[in-house]
Amino acid sequence: MKDFKSLYFIGAGGIGMSSLVRYFLSMGYKVGGYDRTPTELTTQLISEGADLHFEDNIEAVKDIYKDPESTIVVLTPAVPQDHGELSWFRDHGFEILKRSQLLGIITKKSKGLCVAGTHGKTTTSTMVAHLFNNSEFGCNAFLGGISKNYHTNLLLSEDSEYSVIEADEYDRSFHQLSPYMAIITATDPDHLDIYGTEEAYLESFSHFTSLINEGGALIMKAGIKAVPRLKDGVSLYTYSESEGDFHAKNIRIGNGTIIYDFVGPDIEIKDIEPGVPLKINVENSVAAIAMAHLCGIPAEDIKRSINSFKGVKRRFDFYIKRDDLVFLDDYAHHPDEIRASISSVKELYHDKKVTAIFQPHLYSRTNDFYKEFAESLSLADEVILLDIYPARELPMEGVTSELIFDRLTCKDKTLCKKTELLEIIKNKDFEVLMTIGAGDIEKMIAPIKEIIE
């Protein structure tokens, strides 16, 4: 990578891109960029020093970025190749890197602690970062969500040799990394618009395991389909909630808390109490603790830090938590994530009616998994299903939310457009209400809260 003085990010407001924006701002570089829509996150980036705008406007960049030798252009995979600014930079000889390439370059100079998987990777990687940040080791962390402990997706530690990275499988991005240790949380098929087949998806994870450096380790969820392909000198461990080299035992749930004993090949830590007491976080914390232990973080530090972990924004975010009414939001957007999400909430509130408002994300994902979505959502007592959030995609003929809706087996179900949602919920009574999805459903949280309160 050439010497440079400035960076221009196309898609700067994405959760993965924004951590790199913040990193280079902290290093004193001039940072600019484009995103399609202003958000709370882009507002924060501007306040931190980034020069961002929200129109694909060549005139806005060509007078500022005149020297191809001094500026690197970074893009997210979601940016179309015919994007005007991208085409201008390409035609004028600027070095253009994918986000994953830049992250790979940064992290190759450290001991990369990489967390991959179809689901669970954001919470687990943020747990790992919290464990390291609260120990003598410290870490730099590039996270795929906003940590509630630190209110950012970037942690910096000048003296640490460790980097915690959420390793994203989309577009094979995680193949750019060079892990010292890795966790794989799940390999349930996803992004089939990129991979085509489940076999190709699983092979991508196998290739990821081959990148782990000699002397490192792979901590893999017990029972997943991907076959590890490890270099000599790389250790393999399994984990899960109840079995594997690392697991939990003596799990106690009650009074709004979860307590368990952590067990590993050479360690047992009694009375672990995750700060976010959901059943799904037992398994997530087992993986994070296993990585921290293998790197040498003492048991007492681990126990204290897991208890103080506050979670990740949009991962089981509680907005109302009363005896008579609960309202929470979750980013789940894959059938297995939704199954785990609803199951965790029903276990916590087993005597209450659970209503799920779900916004499907992507036409391709809906087309690939509409039967599985219906099965997972039907675990709720009531489902309100919105139209599909397209994100980077154009509509696909015959693919609508009705594919899911027609297969829901719960007794109460409603299909509506997002614009109709608020009027519909005015006429309903809720005990436990969940909003679920990776699109723009989070914009509905404040008005929903105002209505149901």
Cα–Cα distance between 400 and 420 in angstroms, integer?
17
R_g over Cα of the chain: 22
Q: Could you tell me if 322 and 304 lie in one domain?
A: no
pLDDT for residue 37 is more than 90:
no
Q: Could you tell me if 88 and 133 lie in one domain?
A: no
Q: What is the pLDDT of residue 102?
A: 93
Q: Could you tell me if 37 and 145 lie in one domain?
A: no
pLDDT for residue 165 is more than 60:
yes
Q: Could you tell me if 144 and 268 lie in one domain?
A: yes
What single-letter amino acid sits at 443? K
Q: In the structure encoding, which two tokens stand for residue 372, read together?
A: 């599985």
Averaged over 296-318, what is the pLDDT?
Answer: 94
Q: Could you tell me if 145 and 275 lie in one domain?
A: yes
Q: Could you tell me if 129 and 94 lie in one domain?
A: no
Q: What is the pLDDT of residue 282?
A: 95
Partners of 351 in the β-ladder? none
pLDDT for residue 23 is more than 90:
yes
Q: In the structure encoding, which two tokens stand for residue 269, read together?
A: 């830590």
Tell me the pLDDT band of 2, cut-offs 50, 70 and 90.
low
Q: Could you tell me if 48 and 178 lie in one domain?
A: no
pLDDT above 70 covers a percentage of the chain that reads 100
| Rounded-to-10 torsion of CA 263, 268, 272, 277 | 0
Domain boundary among 281, 308, 335: 308
CA 149 to chain centre: 16
Specify if 219 maps to a domain. yes
Domain boundary among 283, 308, 333: 308
Specify if 232 maps to a domain. yes
pLDDT tens for 382-440 read 999 999 999 878 899 999 999 999 999 998 999 999 999 999 999 899 999 999 998 89
Averaged over 255-275, what is the pLDDT?
Answer: 94
Strands (E), 117-246: 140-147, 152-155, 162-167, 179-184, 217-221, 235-239
pLDDT tens for 223-253 read 999 999 999 999 999 999 999 999 999 999 8
pLDDT for residue 284 is more than 80:
yes
Q: What is the pLDDT of residue 347?
A: 84
**Model confidence, pTM:** 0.85
Q: In the structure encoding, which two tokens stand for residue 406, read together?
A: 């027609």
pLDDT for residue 8 is more than 80:
yes
Cα–Cα distance between 340 and 382 in angstroms, integer?
16
Tell me the pLDDT band of 338, cut-offs 50, 70 and 90.
very high
Q: What is the pLDDT of residue 3?
A: 80
Specify if 244 maps to a domain. yes
Q: Which residue has the tokens 């599909």?
A: 388
Domain span at residue 26?
A: 6-99
| Greatest mean pLDDT among 37-41, 134-138, 274-278 | 134-138
Q: What is the pLDDT of residue 179?
A: 96
Average pLDDT, the chain: 94
Q: Could you tell me if 60 and 155 lie in one domain?
A: no
Specify if 1 maps to a domain. no
In angstroms, the Cα distances linking 228 to 168, 245, 291 are 17, 16, 17
Domain boundary among 74, 99, 124: 99
